[in-house]
């Protein structure tokens, strides 16, 4: 096939050269002769073959971590060729478009990345395109090393549907220690303290809260922390199974608190991405930002040291709770290389695989038996909190609710951030719950 | 006679492969999408249960749902975006072409500079423009605002695409997006007009000058009227790009706070591939197609009439 | 007629230069950012500043990738883009030329209906046909292959190439064709002996247009080609930016690399582009 392709290109180049050459101008540069041709495709070796892994981890720590996990896999299965099919895109949306299109065309990869929780269940499991992986958990005795809260997020109808490789925390407040010291402030632990601290910072000429919501997921992300702070973990969980009323006063409180919070945010928030907002904290232009713990990777990448130049506490009013999100890998129905996919999932769920991946990615293992010595000071504290806190699912990152619900919620947030109309927003959010089929 | 008939058949056969491909890839797929827009497909799994016009009614439901509000904003945004984007491309393109037509030294360099934006992927130009129009804050000015401040034009500073205010249904945040799009495609109109200007016979200009017209008069009365067909075909090519625009806005500002820079292309992409609302996504694309049709079909009819007259 | 440098001409040059500067502002940002270090590019308050030094490593990593970090370079994808763009451009130009010829000079019954119907194909929003497209390609065994993507670009290129050539050939005098017919040439003979040799400016326009569009196209490529070793440069470019921390200096460097072939075509063929547009698109 490639020989044909090359021939065709040469032939077309000749034609092009004729066409262009006749006008007295040279043809475009010929293909680089030094670049090796890609390996021939689909040459299955008897008991090895290929393994196609689909993810949105294309660059930075996440791609490095994935590569480290591939190394673990290749050491165990040297004969299997890994096809690293990656599509980048904000929070994986373009990746999702590609994946959905492929799944609809009956062309699934062997395994794909998916946020654990309702993104996995309501999109893929309910549609009947996934195979359960309960047997993988049982065969490897994983049911004892994964926290029950995580297993619950992964489960539906008595089966487990994907293997989580990591845990991220959503409700973290990051702050510039210098700014806090200079103004004699301590990081806020409640919403009331937050507003007191924010007033003091504003008086001192510092932007209290850095927000970068050019993507609406950031608004949802900040708001889920405020929701949790306003009603506590039990009621927060109830929002997602309709036991907590979306028309209730706690939701109103949360919306009002969020609206008030945005008054303390940088005016240009909608022009920035989350990492550009983090940069405001790095520069001392802003004091705090509420963002997931991938922020730590950003602070470190620009040369800052945790607990020296920047600090972290649970976002205001959420101490003792841990809003979790998790990247996981699933097994699509009809995976072309099912045995290899199961071998891959076994590596993903193993202690070795997770300890290879997570220190580089900047997240903590989903297992409880990770090797603490491999993780830095922030991640160790996150491991402690994960073991002792109330675990609740993240809305912004697919754990708490279906993607359709999150999308509708995001539309409501987009309008809310512009007009700060609490009544309209609450109505729209209640309607989103109804449209998602969860509320009456 | 039979010879001619054979040749007519041969002519038809030569076009037949293209006809078949277009029939399948354009009309077949449009029909399929139209069918989805009339279904209840909501979720990854296809569901062709008949829904009538429910999906259309939802999008046009007056005032009520968030989706209807969003879609109404999108249609207005598309209208103003298209109007101003086309105006900018035509006016600037024509101006540059006229300037370039004055027997300029280094014309090739200027032309390449004006065409260069077309060569760069939307994926990246969107990000660059996002940075350029990032307003910053009073204490920490950025992008264009920082430039304006440094030359003392503070009165011209504003929030650019973060500004959520509007004049009637026109969101001012669209202005920087229009500038970015015009930057990318003005080179096209410039080249078209330049080609058109080169086609005007020199004798015609001379004749007008002999009749006492000055240079401006020559352009106004002789040349501009001759460029009308170019304007029309440029409007059509750019118009359909504008009505379908997605990549540039998606990477530059996305939907924007309060949907100030949202367009149907973004809504369609997000609702389909993020929300899994396939039927709603198909509905939006059929409506997009209808708007494009409204613009294109009159043009096609017009240009074919003209052809018959000629 | 000689033109001296009077005030009006100075004004013209000033305007041209002013616009050139305005057009180059984003290009400056692009270029400066690509030469900056990560921490520098991230600090938007330094957007207008020159890079602190020539940090060419962003070009190096964009081109070669950083294998130990799992980052692929653009080099092989540039080649894929050529594999894709060159055949697709050539084939769609040839088809367009034949269609334009037939629809202009050999109007069979219904030709005047078929042409607008064909033309309509360039106006559809491509998002809306993605799913049937993927399913169809998979069904005919072209899913996930470069051939499939070439076919797609050829098909959706037919309307615009046909349009340009049809308008272009309208300018070819019928006498020329009649003369060749009297010499005994058939439909193909006329094409080969009369039309094709006259088509070069038309081809230049079509090639520039198709080359630019196919080269920069993202949506079809990202959906239809899953294997990284097959993906064209636009998809690889997007993949240089991770989903969390985006090293924009490297992406900007990659964008400049990706723009080189198109830019070369503009510089080399720019003159013919205008000439061809003149011949082809002046008439509606």
Cβ atoms of C150 and C92 within 8 Å: the answer is no
CB neighbours of residue C181 within 10 Å: 15
List the one residue out of C168, C252, C266 whose CA is nearest residue C215.
Answer: C266
Question: Could you tell me if A347 lies within 8 Å of chain B, comparing CB atoms?
Answer: no
List the one residue out of B124, C240, C130 whose CA is nearest residue A99.
Answer: C130
**Tens digits of per-residue pLDDT, A57-68?**
887 788 889 999
- B96: tokens are 């540059």
Look at residue C283 in the predicted model and tell me its pLDDT: 41
Beta-carbon-side half-sphere exposure of residue B219 (alpha carbons within 13 Å)? 11
What separation in angstroms does the CA of B149 have from each of A276, B158, C39, C45?
22, 11, 25, 13
Q: Which of A36-40, A405-409, B58-62 has the highest mean pLDDT?
A: A405-409
Least confident of A344-358, A408-422, B131-145, C122-136: C122-136
Look at residue B26 in the predicted model and tell me its pLDDT: 94
Strands A207-210 and A162-164 come out as unpaired
pLDDT class of A339 with cuts at 50, 70, 90: very high
| B113·C24 Cβ contact <8 A | yes
Mean pLDDT score, A289-318? 95
Does residue C95 share a domain with residue C45?
Answer: no
**Tens digits of per-residue pLDDT, B167-188?**
999 999 999 999 999 999 999 8
List the one residue out of A91, A64, A88 whose CA is nearest residue A301.
Answer: A64
Look at residue C279 in the predicted model and tell me its pLDDT: 54
Q: What distance in Å separates the CA atoms of residue C172 and residue C250, rounded to the nearest whole number?
A: 49
Q: What distance in Å separates the CA atoms of residue A393 and residue A373, rounded to the nearest whole number?
A: 27
Mean residue pLDDT of chain A comes to 88
Residue of B nearest to A271 (CA): B134
Residue of A nearest to C80 (CA): A31
Domain coordinates in residue numbering, chain B: 67-309
Does residue C84 share a domain with residue C194?
Answer: yes
Domain coordinates in residue numbering, chain A: 50-167+326-393, 169-324+403-435
CB contacts under 8 A, A 72-101 vs C, are 83-92, 94-95, 97-98, 101
Question: Could you tell me if A3 lies within 8 Å of chain C, comparing CB atoms?
Answer: no
What separation in angstroms does the CA of A336 have from each of A215, A333, C204?
35, 9, 45
Does residue C172 share a domain with residue C51?
Answer: no
Pick left, alpha or beta for residue C219 (phi over 0 → left; psi -120 to 50 → alpha; otherwise beta): alpha
pLDDT class of B308 with cuts at 50, 70, 90: low
Closest-CA distance of chain A to residue B80, Å: 20
CB contacts under 8 A, A 101-140 vs B, are 103-104, 122-124, 126-129
Q: Is residue C2 included in any domain, yes or no?
A: no
Does residue C58 share a domain with residue C178?
Answer: no
List the one residue out of B272, C229, C88, B43 whose CA is nearest residue A98.
Answer: B272
pLDDT class of B94 with cuts at 50, 70, 90: very high
Does residue C197 share a domain with residue C132?
Answer: yes
Q: Which of B34-43, B201-210, C100-109 has the highest mean pLDDT?
A: B34-43
Cβ atoms of A410 and A251 within 8 Å: the answer is no
Closest-CA distance of chain B to residue A424, Å: 10
Does residue C224 share a domain with residue C142?
Answer: yes
Q: Is residue C59 included in any domain, yes or no?
A: yes
Question: Which domain covers residue C166, as residue numbers?
Answer: 75-280
Look at residue A40 in the predicted model and tell me its pLDDT: 40
* Domain A50-167+326-393 and domain A169-324+403-435 have a common topology: yes
Look at residue A42 in the predicted model and tell me its pLDDT: 41
Does residue C83 share a domain with residue C48?
Answer: no
Q: What distance in Å separates the CA atoms of residue A192 and residue B15, rounded to the nearest whole number?
A: 74
Q: What distance in Å separates the CA atoms of residue B175 and residue B308, rounded to the nearest whole number?
A: 41
Higher pLDDT, C171 or B225: B225
Closest-CA distance of chain A to residue C43, Å: 7
Q: What distance in Å separates the CA atoms of residue B283 and residue B40, rounded to the nearest whole number?
A: 11
Cβ atoms of A151 and A289 within 8 Å: the answer is no
- C50: tokens are 């020159």
Cβ atoms of C263 and B184 within 8 Å: the answer is no
Does residue C143 share a domain with residue C263?
Answer: yes
Q: Is residue C210 included in any domain, yes or no?
A: yes
- A28: tokens are 């475009």
Least confident of A89-103, A391-405, B60-74: A89-103
Look at residue A47 in the predicted model and tell me its pLDDT: 53
Higher pLDDT, C7 or A158: A158
For domain B67-309, give the CATH superfamily. MetI-like (1.10.3720.10)
Q: What distance in Å separates the CA atoms of residue A338 and residue A327, rounded to the nearest whole number?
A: 20
**Model confidence at A346: pLDDT above 60:** yes
Size of interface A-B (CB pairs under 8 A): 109
Cβ neighbors of B190 (< 8 A, separation 6 or more) are B92, B93, B96, B97, B100, B111, B114, B115
**Model confidence at A39: pLDDT above 70:** no
List the one residue out of C171, C163, C223, C222 whose CA is nearest residue C198.
Answer: C171
Question: Could you tell me if B246 lies within 8 Å of chain A, comparing CB atoms?
Answer: no
pLDDT class of A31 with cuts at 50, 70, 90: very low
What separation in angstroms does the CA of B41 have from each of A11, A114, A119, B34, B51?
46, 22, 18, 12, 9
Q: What distance in Å separates the CA atoms of residue A406 and residue B277, rounded to the nearest whole number?
A: 12
CATH topology of domain A50-167+326-393: D-Maltodextrin-Binding Protein; domain 2 (3.40.190)
What is the pTM (predicted TM-score) of this model?
0.89
Domain A169-324+403-435 has CATH 3.40.50.720: no
Using a CB-CB cut-off of 8 Å, the residues of chain B touching A268 are: 134-137, 142, 159, 162
Mean pLDDT score, A131-151? 95
| DSSP class of A196 | H
| DSSP class of C53 | S
Q: Per-residue confidence of chain C (284 residues) as pLDDT tens digits? A: 455 668 889 999 999 999 999 999 999 999 999 998 887 887 777 888 888 888 888 898 888 887 766 677 888 999 999 999 999 999 999 999 999 999 988 888 888 888 888 888 887 878 778 878 888 888 888 888 999 999 999 999 999 899 888 888 887 888 888 888 888 888 888 999 889 988 888 888 888 889 988 998 888 888 788 777 888 988 888 788 766 667 888 888 988 898 888 888 888 877 777 666 655 444 43
ipTM of the complex: 0.89
């Amino acid at each position: 096939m490639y020989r044909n392709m090359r021939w065709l290109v040469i032939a077309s180049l000749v034609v092009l050269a004729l066409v262009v050459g006749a006008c007295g101008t040279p043809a475009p540069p010929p293909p680089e002769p030094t670049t090796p041709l890609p390996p021939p495709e689909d040459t299955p070796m008897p008991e090895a073959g290929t393994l196609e892994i689909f993810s949105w981890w294309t660059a930075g720590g996440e791609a490095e971590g994935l590569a480290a996990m591939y190394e673990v896999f290749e050491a165990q299965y040297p004969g299997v060729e890994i096809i690293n099919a990656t599509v980048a895109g904000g929070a994986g949306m373009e990746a999702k478009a590609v994946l959905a299109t492929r799944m609809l065309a009956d062309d699934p990869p062997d395994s794909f990345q998916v946020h654990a929780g309702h993104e996995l269940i309501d999109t893929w499991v309910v549609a009947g395109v996934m195979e359960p992986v309960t047997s993988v958990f049982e065969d490897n005795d994983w049911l004892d090393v994964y926290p029950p809260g995580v297993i619950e997020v992964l489960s539906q109808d008595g089966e487990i549907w994907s293997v989580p490789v990591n845990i991220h925390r959503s409700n973290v407040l990051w702050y510039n220690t210098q700014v806090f010291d200079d103004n004699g402030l301590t990081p806020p632990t409640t919403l009331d303290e937050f507003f007191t601290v924010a007033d003091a910072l504003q008086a001192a000429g510092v932007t209290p809260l850095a927000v970068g919501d050019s993507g609406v997921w950031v608004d949802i992300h900040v708001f889920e922390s405020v929701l949790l702070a306003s009603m506590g973990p039990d009621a927060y969980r109830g929002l997602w199974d309709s036991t907590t009323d979306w028309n209730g006063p706690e939701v109103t409180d949360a919306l009002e608190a969020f609206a008030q919070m945005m008054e303390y945010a940088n005016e240009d928030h909608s022009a920035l991405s989350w990492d550009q907002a983090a940069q405001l904290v790095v520069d001392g232009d802003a004091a705090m930002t509420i963002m997931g713990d991938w922020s730590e990777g950003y602070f470190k990448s620009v040369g800052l040291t945790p607990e020296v130049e920047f600090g972290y506490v649970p976002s205001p009013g959420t101490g003792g709770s841990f809003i979790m999100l998790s990247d996981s890998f699933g097994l699509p129905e009809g995976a072309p290389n099912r045995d290899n996919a199961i071998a891959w999932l076994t590596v993903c769920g193993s202690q070795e695989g997770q300890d290879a991946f997570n220190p580089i990615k900047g997240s903590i293992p989903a297992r409880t038996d990770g090797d603490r010595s491999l993780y830095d000071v922030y991640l160790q504290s996150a491991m402690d909190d994960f073991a002792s806190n109330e675990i609740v699912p993240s809305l912004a990152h697919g754990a708490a609710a279906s993607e359709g619900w999150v999308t509708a919620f995001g539309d409501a947030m987009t309008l809310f951030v512009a007009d700060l109309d609490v009544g309209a927003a609450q109505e729209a959010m209640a309607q989103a719950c109804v449209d998602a089929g969860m509320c009456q | 006679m039979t010879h001619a008939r054979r040749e007519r058949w041969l002519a038809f056969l030569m076009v037949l492969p293209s006809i078949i491909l277009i029939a399948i890839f354009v009309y077949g797929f449009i029909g399929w999408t139209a069918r989805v827009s009339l279904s209840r497909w909501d979720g990854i799994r296809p569901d062709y249960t008949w829904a009538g016009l429910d999906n259309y009614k939802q999008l046009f439901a007056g005032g009520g749902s968030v989706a209807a509000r969003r879609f109404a904003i999108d249609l207005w945004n598309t209208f103003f975006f298209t109007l101003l984007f086309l105006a900018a491309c035509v006016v600037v393109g024509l101006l540059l072409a006229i300037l370039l037509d004055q027997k300029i030294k280094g014309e090739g360099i200027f032309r390449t500079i004006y065409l260069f934006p077309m060569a760069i992927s939307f994926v990246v130009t969107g990000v660059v423009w996002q940075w350029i129009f990032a307003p910053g804050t009073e204490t920490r000015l950025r992008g264009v605002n920082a430039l304006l401040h440094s030359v003392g034009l503070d009165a011209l500073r504003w929030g650019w695409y973060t500004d959520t205010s509007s004049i009637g249904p026109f969101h001012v945040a669209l202005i920087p997006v229009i500038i970015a799009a015009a930057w990318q495609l003005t080179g096209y109109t410039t080249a078209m007009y330049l080609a058109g200007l080169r086609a005007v016979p020199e004798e015609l200009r001379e004749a007008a000058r002999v009749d006492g017209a000055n240079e401006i008069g020559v352009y106004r009365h002789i040349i501009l009227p001759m460029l009308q067909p170019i304007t029309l075909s440029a409007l059509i090519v750019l118009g359909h790009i504008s009505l379908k625009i997605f990549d540039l806005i998606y990477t530059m500002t996305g939907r924007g706070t309060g949907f100030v820079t949202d367009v149907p292309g973004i809504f369609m992409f997000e609702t389909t591939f993020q929300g899994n609302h396939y039927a709603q996504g198909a509905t939006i694309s059929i409506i997009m197609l209808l708007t494009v049709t409204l613009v294109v079909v009159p043009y096609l009819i017009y240009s074919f009439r003209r052809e018959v007259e000629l | 007629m000689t033109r001296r440098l009077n005030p009006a001409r100075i004004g013209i040059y000033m305007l041209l230069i002013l616009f050139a500067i305005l057009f180059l502002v984003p290009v400056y940002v692009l270029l400066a950012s690509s030469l900056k270090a990560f921490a520098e590019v991230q600090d938007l308050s330094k957007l207008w500043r020159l890079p602190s030094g020539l940090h060419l490593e962003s070009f190096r990593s964009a081109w070669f990738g950083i294998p130990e970090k799992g980052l692929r370079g653009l080099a092989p994808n540039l080649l894929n883009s050529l594999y894709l763009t060159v055949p697709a451009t050539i084939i769609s130009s040839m088809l367009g030329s034949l269609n334009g010829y037939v629809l202009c000079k050999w109007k069979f019954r219904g030709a005047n209906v078929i042409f607008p119907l064909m033309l309509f194909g360039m106006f559809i929003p491509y998002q809306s046909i993605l799913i049937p497209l993927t399913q169809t390609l998979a069904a005919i065994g072209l899913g996930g292959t470069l051939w499939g993507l070439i076919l797609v670009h050829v098909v959706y290129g037919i309307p615009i190439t046909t349009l340009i050539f049809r308008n272009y050939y309208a300018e070819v005098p019928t006498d020329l064709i009649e003369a060749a017919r009297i010499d005994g040439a058939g439909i193909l003979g006329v094409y080969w002996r009369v039309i094709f040799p006259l088509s070069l400016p038309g081809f230049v326009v079509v090639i520039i247009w198709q080359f630019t569009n196919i080269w920069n196209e993202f949506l079809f490529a990202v959906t239809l080609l899953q294997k990284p070793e097959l993906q064209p440069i636009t998809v690889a470019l997007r993949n240089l930016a991770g989903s969390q921390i985006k090293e924009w200096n490297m992406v900007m460097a990659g964008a400049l690399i990706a723009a080189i072939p198109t830019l070369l075509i503009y510089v080399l063929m720019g003159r013919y582009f205008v000439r061809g547009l003149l011949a082809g698109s002046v008439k509606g």
